[in-house]
């Protein structure tokens, strides 16, 4: 059902003009209990959304929207293994990948998937033990010191992001690298730092046909064979794939292929064997802790009422900012260098999931869906784009993530980091009026003529909405919960927008065109079918 036809949606849109005209500093001045009313907690987490341009009455209407969209019903369908990815005829059971053993079945097509899930986890555990215990040896008998994950999209972004996020937990003798881009610079610069005899490649592709991945894997194979010979491939390559025939044809022993399932979408697959490089980077026990954190967030999502449900609240705030206030983007601002890749990871999770033009009935939507997501860790971003957020005149909802305790405890750093994070959200909310600026400059001893000249430049409108998510620390458990939080947030928003968040036909279309265009670039077919621009670009490249 198109969300714009719901009664609750109408009630919210009727509030839009009022919401746009109210300043956050006035909302805080009018209600001394605003923070207490507009925060939520879970375990040791705090979600502060009191700096959003929203009232408790608006939240009541958003909760009405939750109920009218039957979000709870859709949650049950997902948990029950229904085919909620209807355009591809698949379930979306990523929650099964972190479901603990002994806590009951999770069914898909009437079969419990948990035995297969935990068998694959045990296989990952055993393989990691071989690598970390120096029992797995390369072709020359030396232990492995470097892992290169070759994948793209969901087979790269998740484990790459989590490996950086958990840098404080890395195995001291294993270095993990990631190659994704088809551009040869990605692979070449990585290989330049490595020795073939101590390097292991993980080729991650469900079908073992992904163009970018297989080109990089083929080039890596050639690099290895040149140094160590054809027989070395089986000791220096493993696969994460279900296409065992292609795995064997490549030269990888099918026994060294790790499986995952078609009821797991790529961008939801970190919890599966796609997480193998992360296991090798931080150890299986830390990976298990990450799964436990994700499962804990699953339980919170499925059991907490929407007014206390963190994924639900984030989704409803996104609906408010996108569809009621008209924001077309959102800045994700983790005040954690270890979470530096989180914006990139969430770009795929959110924009690939919810960047859709039609509803579940195939009818065009009459409302916007996923906003453009972008961001950079603090404090780096403060010296790049915060100027535009503060004074650029655009509505940019911001999402701050901070940790009470640092993951690397160097004296004098973390307190300053937190001070900057909290100060930025305050400045975005409050702003500084022209009169306040003038008074401050005069109090500082500036001449009145100079004040009149400079005060307009040093004034800030404020009223930029933000949310702050405060975690106790960045460790495997809390990282798992954080990523599951955003997975469920995306799902809730998709239900309210009435879209399928689990397909990605826009990605597939580009791949189809590239396959058709490659023979033209190679000169094996003509380009008669091409438009004049594409034909001109190809011709310019072929001229050299």
Q: Which residues are catalytic?
A: 352, 383, 511
* Cβ atoms 278, 159 nearer than 8 A: yes
Rounded distance between C-alpha atoms, residue 531 and residue 88, angstroms = 31
CA torsion through residues 115, 120, 125, 127, sign: positive
Alpha-carbon distance of 94 to 267, in angstroms, equals 10
Other Cβ atoms less than 10 A from the Cβ of 78: the count is: 21
CA–CA gap between residue 48 and residue 318 (Å, rounded): 14
Crossing angle of the two packed helices 7-14 and 56-68, in degrees rounded to 10:
160
Q: What is the 3-state secondary structure (H, E, C) of 514-543?
A: HHHHHHHHHCCCCCCCCCHHHHHHHHHHHH
Q: Residue 142 corresponds to which tokens in the numbers above?
A: 């030396």
Strands 39-42 and 199-204 come out as: unpaired
Do residues 480 and 290 make contact, with C-beta atoms less than 8 angstroms apart?
A: yes
Instruction: Give the 3-state secondary structure of 390-417.
Output: HHCCCCCCEEEEEECCCCCCCCCCHHHH
Only one residue has tokens 């009821």, namely 263
CA separation for the pair 291, 296 (Å, rounded): 9
From residue 61, alpha-carbon distances to 50, 51, 322 in Å are: 16, 18, 15
What is the number of other CB atoms lying within 10 angstroms of the CB of residue 444? 8
CB within 8 Å of 525: residues ≥ 6 apart: 519
Q: Is the peptide bond preceding residue 107 cis, with omega within 30 degrees of 0?
A: no
Pairing of strands 146-150, 111-112: unpaired
Structure tokens of 296?
Answer: 């804990």
Instruction: Label residue 249 exposed, middle or buried (CB < 10 Å: 0-12, 13-18, 19+).
Output: exposed
d(CA 377, CA 381): 6
Nearest one of 32, 19, 25 to 62, comparing CA atoms: 19
């Amino acid at each position: 059902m198109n969300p714009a036809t719901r009664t609750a949606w109408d009630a919210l849109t009727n509030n839009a003009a009022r919401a746009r005209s109210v300043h956050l500093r006035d909302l805080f001045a009018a209600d001394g209990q605003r923070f207490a009313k507009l925060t939520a907690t879970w375990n040791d987490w705090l979600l502060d959304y009191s700096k959003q341009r929203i009232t408790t009455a608006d939240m009541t209407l958003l909760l009405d929207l939750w109920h009218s969209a039957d979000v709870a019903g859709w949650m049950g369908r997902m948990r029950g293994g229904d085919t909620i990815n209807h355009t591809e005829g698949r379930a979306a059971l990523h929650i099964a990948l972190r479901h603990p053993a002994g806590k009951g079945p999770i069914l898909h097509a009437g079969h419990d998937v948990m035995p297969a899930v935990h068998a694959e986890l045990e296989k990952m555990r055993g393989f990691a033990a071989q690598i970390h215990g120096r029992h797995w040896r390369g072709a020359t008998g030396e232990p492995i010191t470097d892992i290169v994950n070759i994948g793209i999209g969901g087979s790269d972004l998740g484990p790459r992001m989590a490996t950086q996020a958990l840098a404080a937990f890395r195995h001291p003798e294993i270095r993990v690298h990631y190659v994704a881009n088809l551009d040869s610079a990605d692979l070449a610069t990585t290989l330049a730092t490595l020795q073939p005899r101590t390097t292991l490649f993980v080729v991650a592709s469900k079908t073992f046909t992904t163009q970018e991945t297989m080109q990089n894997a083929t080039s890596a194979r050639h690099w290895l064979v040149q140094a160590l010979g054809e027989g070395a491939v089986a000791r220096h390559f493993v696969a994460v794939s279900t296409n065992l025939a292609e795995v064997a044809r490549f030269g990888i022993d099918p026994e060294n292929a790790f499986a995952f399932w078609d009821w797991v979408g790529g961008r939801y697959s970190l919890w599966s064997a796609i997480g193998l490089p992360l296991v090798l980077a931080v150890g299986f026990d830390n990976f298990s802790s990450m799964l436990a954190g994700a499962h804990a967030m699953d339980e919170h999502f499925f059991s907490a009422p929407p007014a206390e449900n963190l994924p639900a609240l984030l989704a409803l705030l996104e609906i408010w900012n996108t569809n009621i206030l008209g924001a077309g983007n959102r800045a994700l601002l983790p005040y954690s260098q270890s979470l530096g890749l989180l914006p990139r990871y969430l770009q795929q999770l959110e924009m690939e999931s919810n960047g859709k033009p039609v509803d579940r009935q195939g009818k065009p939507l009459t409302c916007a869906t996923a906003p453009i997501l972008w961001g950079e860790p603090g404090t780096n971003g403060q010296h790049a784009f915060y100027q535009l957020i503060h004074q650029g005149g655009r509505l940019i909802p911001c999402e701050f993530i901070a940790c009470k305790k640092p993951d690397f405890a160097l004296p004098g750093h973390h307190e300053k980091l937190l001070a900057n994070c909290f100060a930025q959200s305050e400045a975005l909310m409050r702003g500084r009026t022209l009169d306040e600026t003038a008074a401050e400059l005069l109090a500082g001893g500036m001449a009145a003529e100079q004040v009149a000249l400079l005060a307009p430049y040093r004034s800030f409108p404020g009223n930029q909405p933000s949310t702050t998510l405060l975690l106790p620390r960045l460790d495997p458990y809390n990282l798992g919960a954080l990523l599951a939080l955003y997975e469920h947030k995306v799902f809730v928003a998709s239900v309210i927008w009435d879209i399928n968040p689990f397909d990605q036909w826009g990605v597939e279309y580009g791949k189809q065109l590239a396959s058709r265009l490659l023979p033209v670039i190679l000169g094996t077919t003509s380009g008669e079918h091409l438009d004049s621009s594409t034909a001109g670009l190809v011709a310019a490249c072929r001229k050299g």
